[in-house]
Amino acid sequence: MPILVITGTGTEVGKTVTTAAVAAAAVAAGRSVAVLKAAQTGVRPDERGDAEEVARLAGAVTASEVARFPEPLAPGTAARRAGMAPVHPQDVAEAAAKLATEHELVLVEGAGGLLVRFDAAGGTLADAARLLNAPVLVVASAGLGTLNTTELTARELRARELELLGVVIGSWPGSPDLASRCNVADLPEVAGAPLLGAVPAGAGALAPADFRAMAPSWLSARLDGSWDAEAFRGRVAP
Ligand SMILES: Nc1ncnc2c1ncn2[C@@H]1O[C@H](COP(=O)(O)OP(=O)(O)OP(=O)(O)O)[C@@H](O)[C@H]1O
Ligand SMILES: [Mg+2]
């Protein structure tokens, strides 16, 4: 699995923090890692983007982004409004493939959810994943509403003949409500793919050394971690 595309059920679901955890676990397992933000929106040139945030938390990873646009909008809209050239799926695929020649694992973080548009032709992260023939990891929110958006995302991946590696809960609450606790059993059902981890809420605020030490305990063996889905489900089941 040299390239892994990381999407989410929406924006603000914890893709970046999850990407950092996956990167940290891979680094701890001795792999060289690069992270590529397909299109960074809503940051000024001097601000830290998602890829840099991953590097801050995960440590020794190569961080890059294909392009950045100032307004916090879908990349295609942000590019158009800024009068800048948009990012095309081909650009994302080329940048990821290049990083894969120099790293054992390349994590490609999308912007928002799977079908957010990158260019005027309607190109998306799904098109980039298709060009790369790369598996996709879906980061999902924990609570009410996540079953619908997770299943929609999984169905779209399947319709495009993309491999859904699994689902990670991007922010597992300290005091999970009933919906969150039930969703641990239901998410893999609706996704038709395994639950591969749960990143605790607040993880992004940990000191980087603590984040790196703990990241493998949030992720399953498929993602270089030691997290046990069965045990977790048993522990949180209502
Ligand atoms: N597990 C977590 N621990 C701490 N903070 C979190 C966690 N998950 C999400 N957050 C916070 O929630 C916000 C959104 O998370 P994040 O940036 O990872 O979302 P995203 O899915 O990457 O969004 P985008 O579509 O903008 O890339 C951030 O402020 C982040 O710090
Ligand atoms: Mg992000």
Angle at 21 between CA 79 and CA 130, to 5 degrees: 50
* Cα distance between residue 64 and residue 23, in whole Å: 14
CATH architecture of 3-236: 3-Layer(aba) Sandwich (3.40)
**pLDDT at residue 138 in the model:** 98
Kindly give the distance from the C-alpha atom of residue 143 to the centroid of ligand 2, in angstroms, as a whole number: 19
Question: How many whole angstroms from 177 Cα to the centroid of ligand 1?
Answer: 19
Q: What is the chain's mean pLDDT, rounded?
A: 97
CA atoms of 107 and 126, how far apart (whole Å): 14
Tell me the pLDDT band of 45, cut-offs 50, 70 and 90: confident
Average pLDDT over residues 25-42: 97
Which atom belonging to ligand 1 lies closest to the Cα atom of 113? 25
Q: Is the pLDDT of residue 1 over 90?
A: no
pLDDT at 98: 98
Q: Whose CA is nearest to atom 13 of ligand 1?
A: 12
Pocket residues for ligand 1 (CB within 6 Å)? 8, 11-17, 50, 111-112, 170-171, 199-205
Whole-angstrom Cα distance, residue 166 to residue 220? 10
Nearest atom in ligand 1 to the alpha carbon of residue 110 is 27
Question: Nearest residue CA, atom 9 of ligand 1?
Answer: 14
Give the three-state DSSP class for 55.
helix
* Cα of 205 from ligand 1 centre, angstroms: 10
Whole-model pTM over 0.85: yes
- State the catalytic residues: 37
Nearest C-alpha to atom 31 of ligand 1 is from which residue? 204
Q: What is the pLDDT of residue 210?
A: 98
Q: Which residues are close to ligand 2, an ion, with C-beta < 5 A?
A: 15-16, 50
Ligand lying nearest the CA atom of residue 18: 1
Closest ligand 1 atom to residue 171 Cα is: 1
Structural tokens at position 152: 């929609």
Q: What is the pLDDT of residues 84-134, one digit of tens each?
A: 999 999 999 999 999 999 999 999 999 999 999 999 999 999 999 999 999
pLDDT of the residue at 192: 98
User: For residue 14, how far is its CA from the centre of ligand 2 (angstroms)?
Assistant: 7
Q: Ligand 2 centre and the CA of 54: distance in Å?
A: 9
Closest approach atom of ligand 1 to CA 109: 27
The C-alpha R_g of the chain, in whole angstroms, comes to 17
The predicted pLDDT at position 36 comes to: 98
How far apart (Å, rounded) are the C-alpha atoms in residues 85 and 106? Answer: 24
For 50-90, how does the pLDDT look when each residue is reduced to its tens digit (9 = 90+)? 999 999 999 999 999 999 999 999 999 999 999 999 999 99
